[in-house]
């Protein structure tokens, strides 16, 4: 089975790589976009490599690494009426939203900033840096995954 590569965005004020380091594992709940959901339910496999991206913060960029720890399961937050992620259409028999579980791999000593990724010509095809690209889960090629992590030594 070939291991594959993803970039997953999170606002660090909501859930950061440090939070994942503390918890060890976490459900990647709250995804409410069909394309992102379909990546989790159809394409992700246990063991896939993840770049953990911090968005909407002082230094947006790749903050660490994680790995898919468990396949997609119904997102519990859709059943919680008090949650901002509550989904009235969802029932236990027919859930609408799903989430994989991820496990902590490492926290980078310094965030690899989006600005640096944008300056790297060999990464110009990266989905992340396409204007208006808001998808919170994006597939990466192995080459892109390695190139982004390789930027760490230039910081």
How are strands ordered across the β-sheet holding 5-10? Answer: 25-27, 98-113, 61-74, 49-54, 5-10, 137-140
Of residues 65-104, those binding DNA (CB under 7 A):
none
Options 17-25, 68-76, 112-120, 146-154: segment touching DNA (CB under 7 A): 112-120
Q: Give least dist CB 31 to DNA, A.
A: 9
Helices and strands: H and E segment counts in the chain: 4, 6
Options 20-28, 50-58, 69-77, 104-112: segment touching DNA (CB under 7 A): 50-58
Options 19-27, 40-48, 51-59, 145-153: segment touching DNA (CB under 7 A): 51-59
56 binds DNA (CB under 7 A): yes
136 binds DNA (CB under 7 A): yes
Concatenate the DSSP letters of all residues of 132-145 into one string.
T---SEEEE-HHHH
Q: Name the residue among 48, 49, 42, 52 with its Cα closest to residue 15.
A: 52
- The residues pairing with 106 across neighbouring beta strands, listed in sequence order, are 65
Distance of CA 9 to the CA centre of its chain: 4
Options 19-27, 73-81, 101-109, 133-141: segment touching DNA (CB under 7 A): 133-141
Nearer to DNA, 3 or 110 (CB): 110
Q: Give least dist CB 60 to DNA, A.
A: 4
Distance of CA 19 to the CA centre of its chain: 14
| CB 111 within 8 Å of CB 54 | yes
55 binds DNA (CB under 7 A): yes
Nearer to DNA, 25 or 130 (CB): 130
Site for DNA, rule CB under 7 A: 9, 11, 32-35, 55-57, 60, 114-115, 118, 130-136
């Amino acid at each position: 089975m070939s291991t594959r590569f993803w970039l997953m965005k999170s606002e660090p004020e909501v859930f950061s790589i440090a939070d994942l380091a503390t918890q060890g594992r976490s459900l990647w709940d709250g995804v409410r976009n069909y394309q992102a959901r379909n990546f989790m339910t159809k394409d992700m496999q246990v063991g896939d490599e993840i770049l953990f991206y911090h968005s909407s913060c002082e230094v947006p960029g790749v903050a660490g690494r994680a790995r898919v720890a468990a396949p997609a399961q119904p997102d519990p937050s859709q059943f919680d009426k008090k949650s901002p992620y509550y989904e009235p259409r969802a029932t236990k028999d027919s859930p609408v939203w799903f989430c994989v579980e991820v496990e902590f791999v490492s926290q980078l000593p310094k965030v690899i900033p989006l600005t640096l990724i944008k300056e790297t010509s060999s990464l110009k095809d990266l989905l992340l840096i396409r204007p208006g690209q808001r998808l919170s889960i994006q597939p990466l090629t192995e080459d892109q995954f390695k190139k982004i992590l390789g930027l760490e030594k230039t910081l």
